[in-house]
Structure 1
Amino acid sequence: MRKLFLSHTTEFVLIGVIVAMSIFLAFATDRFFTLGNAFDLLNISAVNIIFAVGLLVVLIAGGIDISFAVAASVVQYVTALALERIGGGGWVSGLLIAGSAGILLGMINAFLIHRFRIISIVATIATFNVYFGLLMFFTRGVSIYNLPDWLTTRVIIYEREMADGSWAEITLPVVVMAICVFATWLLISRTTTGRQLYAFGDNPEGARRFGINIGAMPFIAFGWLGLMAGIAGLMQAHYAQEVVPNALYGRELDVLAAVVLGGARLGGGKGSVLGCVLGVLLVSITQNGLNLMGVSPFAFKMIVGAIILAAITLSSARIEKLIPLFATAKPGDDTAKGAGR
């Protein structure tokens, strides 16, 4: 058990914080600890979790991307216009168009980073502004409401009537989110490519000497994030039943905070899907709890900033060093030695 805790310290800490916060909010508000609110949290968090697992792969590979939310907005418009041209299409064609457009935008980031040796955060700040500027220029900020019926029709996977007559529902974005989470877990945990991404993020030069094609790594990482951004954009359009050019603008910092909080290291080579999902859920629970308690939404932005600061601090000074349990570990304990490396 101790070895398991040492290897998944961040995840255990996040679970503890989520449980403690949930208990507090259950007493502080009447609606938090209800099935309807729990399902609403899942439905609302689905798009951010899809973003997050894509960003996780980029962070593992040692990069950073802040353009993915704007890229998803671009994908929404491109997909909506393409579907109109082909007569409406369906879920298969919609996912193919959105996924392909997202991968293309991700590959542009990877090309700039690899070909011109631009630092990833600088490259994605540039593409963030280029993508958003082009989107607003060509759309004039006008939303699209005339979407195909299959895209705007709510798909309810599970529903249950509550005692007050309301309905608790699990919708399609939650299922798509679960598939994306599982696919990302398979990629980084069960494939050679995943191990190469970890190695590349931890030590690019060492990875090159080991025979890993380091030129392909940025394209795989940013391409995967682009795919997730495309899918998330389509799910956002389905959930909102409209395409709004700035609907996803600003989510990049919330998602980045959640992923780093979940244990992904900004320097690369570290991160888990479970920690990533828990990080998003913690941020979502915080926002949901503040809303139910009637706290100003501006306070949430301050909390997100504090979360980013805390996450970066904890990623620099390993969490286990801050927990007294490990300070009292026996000198001859091999596990404790491994934790302190």
Structure 2
Amino acid sequence: MSIREVARKAGVGIGTVSRVLNGRASVSAEVQRRVLEVVKELRYTPNEHARRMWKGRANTICFLLANRQILLSLHGHIFRGVEEFCGVNGYSVLFTTFRYSPHTPPEELELPPILKAKGVVDGVILGGVNYPNLLERMEAYRIPYSVFGNNLVDDGAPRTKSVMFEDGDGAEQAVEHLIRLGHRDIWFVGHTAWPWNRRRYDSYSRIMRRHRLEPRAIVEGLAQAGHELGLQAARRILEASEPATAVFAASDYIACGVIEAATRMGRRVPEDLSVVGFDALDEFAYYRPRITSVGTDKEKIGEYCALLVIRQAEGEETGDQSTVRIPMHLVEGESCAPPAQTRVKTD
């Protein structure tokens, strides 16, 4: 059964049948009724591939994970949000990876074959760690895209077509939580060469100064890997002469390292040292003590990334739409308590 047979029996053209099946309003109610009756009578099922060709779209979006070796739970949740949103809106999702250097000129970036092939995907969501040269390449290639803005390594503010959670707000909630518990000697641990850690550190410093407290931090000169960084930083903090009753770690991985080092040195968490992480990752759901952290609706990030791409693919003018920002919230665990001296006075 073909669309030609439907058109012939309904007494209309092929284009009219297509407009009816695609829900366009440029067809009279009487013609719509007649076409739909014939479709039902002939049990005609539209060829999805043909429909996509007619629309000039593949109804497929590519999720590109850049410069990451594995899919961590953060990006797993984002991908799930993309997939669910696309499914509801009639789009499929393809997944691929891409490794590239930030120093490669945009015009020399060799894009994955799936992006270079015409008509295979309608747009791309840039996940993982990305750099401005790929965004410039996307703009020049004129392919609809959106980017997970938190992991964009750029000295400037996040660009348009990006979705990100509020690093600064999350860091503020973490530090304010420790201050409410009575902590005054709060350290920050995180490698600020990465812009997301730098945003968290800047917020930490601002909140500490607002409360007339001295910011103390270890932000460089250590291993860049999260867990190892936490191990090394905690040893330096706890062996130093300066006081420390709490640590705000720039990630849950760093927080895990801090807790492990403190335990090895005979410090109990949270009795002797409180620790707050960042991201509220699934990887640490069963870690003990359960890490107090700040998290966000990660699927919502994926939903908005997909929405931005679909709007572009369907011809909507996004213009200079500002970055979509997702709020964060405190996730209380078992790694925080009032400082020891406060508990003694209370008792």
TM-score by length of 1: 0.27
Q: Give the number of the structure whose alpha-carbon radius of gyration is greater.
A: 2
> Greater helix share, 1 or 2?
1
Task: Give the TM-score taking structure 2 as reference length.
Answer: 0.27
